[in-house]
């Protein structure tokens, strides 16, 4: 297989697996997750092209999407994209294995794995695409598939709410991204991301609006303030989904956007906005995480906080530190969510206040959770400590306020990590007396992630050169792989920087974090006292209720009227729009109307007046039929006997249908209405008729060569037939004809279904009798 084919397959394979998953789910049930692991292997095999990416010679591939519009789907595995694709694929494989052990026998296994693979494919496409339009398409696919995953347990009200909230907020970001990519494509003169030039974009008046919409999209997707409220409610999804979404995929989509377009956003005010929004999110997420009693909710708010760190680092141009923390966060957060799933699976609870001493009953889960939680806390000799040190160092260079926010947020991070580990210590507290360690299939997928957290730190110590990372260690390899994408020099990650201010701030963080954990009850009361009567969730629900109220009011005002009122508005708008267009573009000389056409028009008008004056339905049907028959004369005058015959047949069938249906209706009643309304309707009708008549006369004076000459000249040479009408229907307008056939087929199936229901109902009633 060629390199280009492998790159395309790495994105397509999960979608193919999503199609196959429902069939495997029927036969293999939860174990269908194991063979579906193969869908992420092509993306994992991209690792062989890492040397080329590090040498700034990325693998590229693509194919035409809509050639007529110049649209193509392009993929580019540069250093950052390849690094993230490897993370998505690796964690995706572990999540599929974990899900196969986690799901119960009564779950809809095929549907679950189908949604999960669709999401994985969308994330790989989002990371690897080099096309603005495809970027938006994959972005929206992540929103749709995540909605399905979060709402997988649709019978639960909380799942419905979480899925709806995630979709509404991320859909807002999707609309913003759509505007952004359109503006960037127009301003940059290209749809290829890698060929966008800062100087060209900067000179365009669309540059600032494009960046604004780009930031809105990134903030909504990566749960930055004030759009963070969707992420905690998304924890209602099954734990494998939370582990995938909250560690390496959806929540980092906004971070990916900021990283990919960092060459645009690392500029002036926008850089400061991203940094301070990220720091505020980091602080607020940590603060809210300390209030949680649910283990999964605690991790959800911790994800909000960690995303704030990533956003602040990428936004302020510190890509090396950001990438190091991104890799660490993907490993420890996925491991912690899996451990929470194990605790919930074995004990039946995630309530911290009801759990304790679980290390005795769940020793392997404890061993997995300990390094992951300590890495998130920033404890030395683990990967999280190194990236936290880098975070402190970069914020120190940004100024006092960023440093203060970073340290304060990290103190609370340390405290909620200790709170998470609290369930493993102290006396045994568990509502399930038969609690025991999870099966090998459940904890094994989490173990490699915990080992990776350790490998990012302890296993990378070089005793000959002190506490430093060697250049070929796992964390450095991932971080330096992204170096060409951001322009920083490949470097080392150090466990020991000597005694300096950054180490002192870390020691302060640990001391105050321990103190905050020990005095959590007074701090919790302090939080309760500061809690206002409203928050982002209450504002969201009030805004949603207000929107629903406005929609109901607007619908009642605009759609609550009679059909006749609606029709008046529609035809009047049509007449006004048509008249305004004709006023601007009406040709100077309109085509003359032959006398024969005037006579036919007079006949049709007479028939229509007869319909209006009819006193019963039979008379109205007869006059309507005469008007239709008279219209066939127009086709005869235009030398189109086939169309005239078709029109005549349609009119005949229509009259028969009218007669067969109207005989079941009640008798006509006199419709009394004011004379003024009749006058208004007459004026509207005359206006519409005048607009259509003038438009028809206008098109008789063509502004370009008539297309009929093309059909006459090329009917045989291109279409292969002498019957021009048939060639038009079958060849020149083949798709249009196919669409009409499809519509008729759908109608036929619907009619058949209705008749079948009627027959079954009639049989049921006869049996009852």
pLDDT in tens, 195-242: 888 778 888 888 889 889 999 999 999 889 888 888 888 888 888 888
Pairwise CA distance, residues 275 & 612, whole Å = 71
Which range scores top for mean pLDDT: 157-161, 509-513, 755-759?
509-513
In this prediction, residue 467 carries a pLDDT of 43
598-633 pLDDT per residue, tens: 888 888 888 888 887 777 777 888 888 888 888 888
In this prediction, residue 512 carries a pLDDT of 93
DSSP states along 302-334: HHHHHHHHHHHHHHTT-HHHHHHHHHHHHHHHH
Distance between the two ends of the chain, CA-based, in angstroms?
69
In this prediction, residue 119 carries a pLDDT of 93
What number of other Cβ atoms are within 10 A of residue 323's Cβ?
A: 30
List, in sequence order, every beta strand (DSSP E) within 494-604: none
Tokens 């005058």 correspond to: 637
Q: Predicted confidence band at 704 (pLDDT cuts at 50, 70, 90)?
A: low
Q: Predicted confidence band at 92 (pLDDT cuts at 50, 70, 90)?
A: very high
Pairwise CA distance, residues 244 & 266, whole Å = 29
Pairwise CA distance, residues 91 & 77, whole Å = 18
Q: Span 653-679, mean pLDDT?
A: 75
Average per-residue pLDDT in the chain?
A: 84
pLDDT at 413 over 90: yes
In this prediction, residue 472 carries a pLDDT of 45
pLDDT at 187 over 80: yes
Q: Of 382, 288, 283, which is closest to residue 331 (Cα–Cα)?
A: 382
At CB < 8 A and 24+ separation, what contacts does 464-469 make? Answer: 466/496, 467/494, 467/495, 467/496, 468/492, 468/494, 468/495, 468/496, 469/386, 469/493, 469/494, 469/495
DSSP one-letter code for 731: I
Q: Span 707-736, mean pLDDT?
A: 79
Q: Which residues pair with 74 in a beta bridge?
A: 62
What number of other Cβ atoms are within 10 A of residue 418's Cβ?
A: 19
Q: Span 525-530, mean pLDDT?
A: 80
746-764 pLDDT per residue, tens: 888 988 888 888 888 877 7
pLDDT at 276 over 90: yes
pLDDT at 164 over 50: yes
Q: Which helix (H) or strand (E) holds 467?
A: strand 466-469
Q: Which helix (H) or strand (E) holds 685?
A: helix 675-699
pLDDT at 174 over 60: yes
On the 0-12 / 13-18 / 19+ scale of CB atoms within 10 A, 190 is: middle
Pairwise CA distance, residues 331 & 446, whole Å = 9
In this prediction, residue 585 carries a pLDDT of 63
DSSP one-letter code for 519: T
Pairwise CA distance, residues 159 & 310, whole Å = 28
Q: Predicted confidence band at 267 (pLDDT cuts at 50, 70, 90)?
A: low
Q: Span 149-177, mean pLDDT?
A: 87
380-405 pLDDT per residue, tens: 888 888 888 889 988 998 889 999 99
544-555 pLDDT per residue, tens: 889 888 988 888
> Is residue 356 helix, strand or coil?
strand
pLDDT at 495 over 70: no
Q: Which residues contact 23 (CB under 8 A, 6 or more apart)?
A: 110
pTM of the model: 0.77
In this prediction, residue 475 carries a pLDDT of 66
Pairwise CA distance, residues 319 & 279, whole Å = 16
DSSP one-letter code for 49: G
In this prediction, residue 696 carries a pLDDT of 72
Q: Of 153, 115, 334, 158, which is closest to residue 246 (Cα–Cα)?
A: 334
Q: Predicted confidence band at 463 (pLDDT cuts at 50, 70, 90)?
A: very low
pLDDT at 586 over 60: yes
Q: Which residues pair with 494 in a beta bridge?
A: 468
pLDDT at 469 over 50: no
Buried b (16+ CB within 10 A) or exposed e, 563-600: eeeeebeebeeebeebbeebeeeeeeeeeeeeeeeeeb
- In the structure encoding, which two tokens stand for residue 634, read together? 């127009």
Q: Of 447, 409, 168, which is closest to residue 301 (Cα–Cα)?
A: 409
Task: Give φ, ψ of 136 to 5 degrees.
Answer: -65, -40
What number of other Cβ atoms are within 10 A of residue 270's Cβ?
A: 18
pLDDT at 436 over 70: yes
Question: CA separation (Å) from 254 to 78, 209, 417, 564?
Answer: 18, 18, 25, 49
115-137 pLDDT per residue, tens: 999 999 999 999 999 889 899 99
Task: Give φ, ψ of 592 to 5 degrees.
Answer: -70, 155
What number of other Cβ atoms are within 10 A of residue 516's Cβ?
A: 19
In this prediction, residue 466 carries a pLDDT of 43
pLDDT at 462 over 60: no
Virtual torsion, Cα 18, 22, 23, 27, nearest 10 deg: 130
In this prediction, residue 266 carries a pLDDT of 67
pLDDT at 488 over 80: no
């Amino acid at each position: 297989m060629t390199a280009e084919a492998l790159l395309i397959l790495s994105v397509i394979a999960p979608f193919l697996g999503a199609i196959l998953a429902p069939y495997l789910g029927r036969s293999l049930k939860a174990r269908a997750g194991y063979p579906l692991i193969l869908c992420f292997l092509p993306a994992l095999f991209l690792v062989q092209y890492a040397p080329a990416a590090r040498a700034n010679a990325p693998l590229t591939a693509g194919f035409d999407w809509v050639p007529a519009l110049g649209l193509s789907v392009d993929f580019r595995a540069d250093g950052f994209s390849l690094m993230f694709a490897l993370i998505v694929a690796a964690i995706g494989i572990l999540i599929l294995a974990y899900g196969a052990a986690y799901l119960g026998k009564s779950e809809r296994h095929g549907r679950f794995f189908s949604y999960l693979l669709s999401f994985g494919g969308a994330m790989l496409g989002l990371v690897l695409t080099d096309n603005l339009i495809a970027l938006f398409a994959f972005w929206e696919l992540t929103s749709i598939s995540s909605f399905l995953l979060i709402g997988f347990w649709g019978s639960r009200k909380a799942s419905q709410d979480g899925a709806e909230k995630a979709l509404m907020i991320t859909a807002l970001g999707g609309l913003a991204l759509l505007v952004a990519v359109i503006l960037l494509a127009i301003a940059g003169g290209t749809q290829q991301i890698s060929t966008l030039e800062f100087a060209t974009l900067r000179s365009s008046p669309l540059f600032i609006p494009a960046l604004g919409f780009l930031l809105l999209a990134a903030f909504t997707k990566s749960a930055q303030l004030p759009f963070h409220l969707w992420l905690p409610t998304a924890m209602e999804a099954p734990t494998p989904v939370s582990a995938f979404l909250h560690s390496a995929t959806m929540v980092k989509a906004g971070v990916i956007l900021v990283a990919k377009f960092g060459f645009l956003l690392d500029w002036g005010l926008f850089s400061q906005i991203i940094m301070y929004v990220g720091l505020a999110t980091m602080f607020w997420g940590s603060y809210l995480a300390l209030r949680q009693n649910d283990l999964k909710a605690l991790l959800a708010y911790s994800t909000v906080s960690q995303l704030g760190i990533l956003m602040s680092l990428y936004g302020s141009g510190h890509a090396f530190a950001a990438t190091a923390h991104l890799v660490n966060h993907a490993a420890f957060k996925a491991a912690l969510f899996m451990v929470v799933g194990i605790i919930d699976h074995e004990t039946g609870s995630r309530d911290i206040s009801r759990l304790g001493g679980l290390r005795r009953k769940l020793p392997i889960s404890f061993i997995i959770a300990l390094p992951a939680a300590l890495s998130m806390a920033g404890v030395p000799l683990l990967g999280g400590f190194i990236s936290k040190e880098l975070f402190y160092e970069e914020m120190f260079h940004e100024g006092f306020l960023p440093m203060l926010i970073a340290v304060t947020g990290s103190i609370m991070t340390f405290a909620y990590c200790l709170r998470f580990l609290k369930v493993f210590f102290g006396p045994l507290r568990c509502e399930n007396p038969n609690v025991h360690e999870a099966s090998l299939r459940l904890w094994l997928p989490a173990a490699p992630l915990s080992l990776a957290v350790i490998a990012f730190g302890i296993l990378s110590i070089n005793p000959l050169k002190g506490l430093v990372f060697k250049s070929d260690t796992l964390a450095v390899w991932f971080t330096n792989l992204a170096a060409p994408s951001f322009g920083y020099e490949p470097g080392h990650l150090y466990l020991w920087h000597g005694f300096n201010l950054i180490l002192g701030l870390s020691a302060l963080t640990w001391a105050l974090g321990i103190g905050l954990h020990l005095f959590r009850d007074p701090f919790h009361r302090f939080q309760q006292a500061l809690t206002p009567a409203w928050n982002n969730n209450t504002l969201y629900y009030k805004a949603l209720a207000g929107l629903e109220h406005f929609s109901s009011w607007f619908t009642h005002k605009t759609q609550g009227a009679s059909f006749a009122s609606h029709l008046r508005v529609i035809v009047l708008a049509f007449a006004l729009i048509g008249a305004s267009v004709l006023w601007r573009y009406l040709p100077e000389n309109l085509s003359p109307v032959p006398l024969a056409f005037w006579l036919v028009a007079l006949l049709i008008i007479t028939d229509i007046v007869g319909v209006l004056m009819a006193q019963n339905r039979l008379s109205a049907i007869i006059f309507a039929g005469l008007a239709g028959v008279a219209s066939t004369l127009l086709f005869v005058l235009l030398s189109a006997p086939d169309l005239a015959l078709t029109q005549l047949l349609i009119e005949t069938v229509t009259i028969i249908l009218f007669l067969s249906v109207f005989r079941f209706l009640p008798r006509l009643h006199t419709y009394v209405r004011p004379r003024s309304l009749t006058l208004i309707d007459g004026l509207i009708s005359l206006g519409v008729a005048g607009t259509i008549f003038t438009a028809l006369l206008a098109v008789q004076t063509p502004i370009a060569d008539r297309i009929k000459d093309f059909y006459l000249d090329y009917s045989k040479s291109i279409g292969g037939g002498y019957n021009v009408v048939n060639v038009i229907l079958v060849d020149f307008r083949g798709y249009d004809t196919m669409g009409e056939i499809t519509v008729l087929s759908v109608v036929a199936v619907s009619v058949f279904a209705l008749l079948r229901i009627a027959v079954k109902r009639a049989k049921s009633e006869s049996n009852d009798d």
